[in-house]
A and B are shown apart, each in its own frame.
Chain A
Amino acid sequence: MKGAGRLYAAVAAGGFRRYATYRVATAAGVFTNTVFGMILAYTYIALWDERPGLGGYDQAQAVTYVWVGQGLLSVVAVMGGGFEDELIERIRTGDIAIDLYRPADLQLWWLAADAGRAGFQLLGRGVLPMVLGGLVFRLALPGDAGTWAAFLGAVLLGVLVSFAIRYLVALAAFWFMDGAGVQQLAVLAGLFFSGMTLPLNVFPGALGELARVLPWSSLIQVPADVLLGERTGWALLRTYAFQAAWAAGLLALGRLIQSAATRRVVVQGG
């Protein structure tokens, strides 16, 4: 068990360092997130001027929501761009065969690599847009360490759920030789249902209900709500349970499909 822990720790460290080598990409990402954050923040301000208290947020909370979203965008990989591109490519080219004869678990391997990526992007692309946003706008950030810790917990679970979804998307490449279509669908669903475009609280009726119980809400909406102090005490525990249940269910589904897929691997030959 200890040996396995060290292996996946090494994989995660590799994932972290790998993204750390792309400094220009990181800087470009921070720049893009900041610009988009500005545009969205002014849009939200206009919207909340018209409709104060929309979705239960005041204006400062709404602007904070924007910057949390920009900070988390790459961490929870709403638009993709994590391990799945590489995994899909390995499935397509047959390199996946190499991964299969190794004495390591495929899902845990990629989870570790993706956790390393998320760790880097939290520091490299998460913090700076938040700070820059905070310089320009008045943000409703919590003053106590407990809320920040609770927020990190929700982000961690969000990364797990995000990984589990993207793992399923990547495994689809075993059946569709071109994984791009499924990936695009997943990005669209992610952009909308994570709360990236607008907070899910804003959606009325059945659509809102649906959006809030889908797994994508774990990526942005839930961590943002935790940071804004909307979920405390028992509500926080229920929130964690909600995220953890999606993570566990989707990861288990991923394992099931993985074992079906590896029986199939073979047919691609090579």
Chain B
Amino acid sequence: MDTDTSDSGITTGTDGRDGALIRLDRVEKVFDVRRKTGFLRRERRRVRAVDSISFTVSRGEMVGYIGPNGAGKSTTIKMLTGILTPSGGHLRVAGIDPSRERTRLAQRIGVVFGQRTTLWWDLPLVDSYRLMHRMYRIPDARYAENLDRCVELLELGDLLDVPVRQLSLGQRMRGDIAAALLHDPEVLYLDEPTIGLDVVSKVRVREFLRDLNAERGTTVLLTTHDLSDIEQLCRRVMVIDHGRLMYDGPLTGLHEVGESERTLVVDLERELPPIDVGSARVVKVEGPRQWLAFPAAQSAAPLVARIAAAYPLVDLSVREPDIEAVISRMYAGKTTS
């Protein structure tokens, strides 16, 4: 047995409460990559895919894990499932060391890779579920109950007898999500679950995940390129780049870190020269309408008051920054330095 209970008092990352289900403490993964540099000559290079990452995820949290391609997201997920062994640091999921006890951990986690499938390609969908039933040794009653629930909520009823290869991408993804949940995992890792899906399918998948988290308290760790997934599902977001954790906190706080700007759109009575009120700068003028940018962290109220006092104001609106822009600015800022 391992000695997890002894170190559960140590707090790491941003959240050290006892409910921590996933705990990473200075976890690293280093790959040796060999590259051909000439005839018979090879060069060895060490790549730090994950560089001393620490965080904890509490039971019942729904966390977004984002970063550009090659940032180390998939490597982290693979370490969390036990497929990869960390080169250094300490890693626990539900008190289990993933790479040591991969099979025991498998009973407690569910994994969905958007671009890969766990389903049996040539056989009807339901056959894959029967296999999960046996593989995870799910008691018959619980299996039947979970299957019914997934079939209802993910609208799989008509698809159960269809061979997986005939399913559309959205249908297959719903099928895969159901397959990952039949054994009641405590944690669900989702790697790009909405990639390539149409809007309707995306909405359906998101709704399902939200309900799953709210009603069953399943902890969800979600990696995605689609930031609207994160906006709609996760209160907490972690940003990783070059193997390092760049940000860990609420979605709203990302704007401050990313030095993002909000936009105030002002309609004046008539065409006027650009407004000059100090803390905001005019980015665009189109007839009587002007666009002013100001730091997202700053309140819009004093700015509006100052404009109203000095200019003939007709109407105004505030636009929130686009996180996509925020994050790309964040990457650009850190990587060029």
Contact = CB atoms under 8 A, between A and B. Distances in A.
Interface of A: 3, 6-7, 9-11, 14, 17-18, 21, 93-95, 97-98, 100-104, 265-267, 269-270
Interface residue range, chain B: 20 to 34
Contact of B122 (A9, A21, A265): A21
Given A14-B120, A269-B74, A6 B134 contact: yes
A135 to B, nearest CB: 33
B116 A94 contact: yes
B163 A14 contact: no
15 contacts: A7-B134, A9-B134, A10-B134, A98-B111, A100-B83, A100-B102, A101-B82, A101-B83, A101-B106, A103-B103, A103-B135, A104-B135, A265-B83, A266-B78, A269-B49
A138 B17 CA distance: 81
Contacts of A6: 134
Interface of B: 31, 33, 49, 74-75, 78, 81-84, 102-103, 106-107, 109, 111, 113, 116-118, 120, 122-123, 127, 130-131, 134-137, 163
A3 B83 contact: no
Nearest to A17: B123
Contacts of A17: 123, 127
Given A3-B137, A266-B84, A10 B103 contact: no
A14 B83 CA distance: 26
A101 B135 contact: no
B118 A98 contact: yes
A103 B105 CA distance: 9
A270 B116 CA distance: 11
Contacts of A97: 78, 83, 113, 116
In the A-B complex, the 5 residue pairs with the smallest Cβ-Cβ separation, listed nearest first, are A7-B134, A103-B106, A101-B81, A3-B137, A103-B103
Given A10-B134, A17-B127, A267-B31, A101 B122 contact: no
Given A97-B78, A266-B83, A14 B131 contact: yes
A92 to B, nearest CB: 13
Nearest to A266: B84
Q: Is the interface of A mostly helix, strand, loop or mixed?
A: helix
A11 B131 contact: yes
B167 to A, nearest CB: 15
Nearest to A105: B103
B122 A102 contact: no
Contacts of A21: 122-123, 163
A266 B135 CA distance: 24
Contact of B113 (A9, A14, A98): A98
B102 A101 contact: yes
A128 B111 CA distance: 44
Given A21-B163, A97-B83, A270 B122 contact: no
A129 B117 CA distance: 37
A7 B163 contact: no
A87 to B, nearest CB: 13
A101 B127 contact: no
A171 B127 CA distance: 27
Contacts of B109: 101
A96 to B, nearest CB: 9
A45 to B, nearest CB: 40
Given A21-B122, A103-B106, A14 B127 contact: yes
Contacts of A14: 120, 123, 127, 131
Nearest to B120: A14
Contact of A3 (B113, B127, B134): B134
Contacts of A93: 116
B31 A102 contact: no
A14 B113 CA distance: 23
A270 B75 CA distance: 8
A269 B122 CA distance: 26
A10 B131 contact: yes
Given A3-B134, A21-B122, 4 more contacts: A95-B116, A97-B83, A266-B31, A267-B31
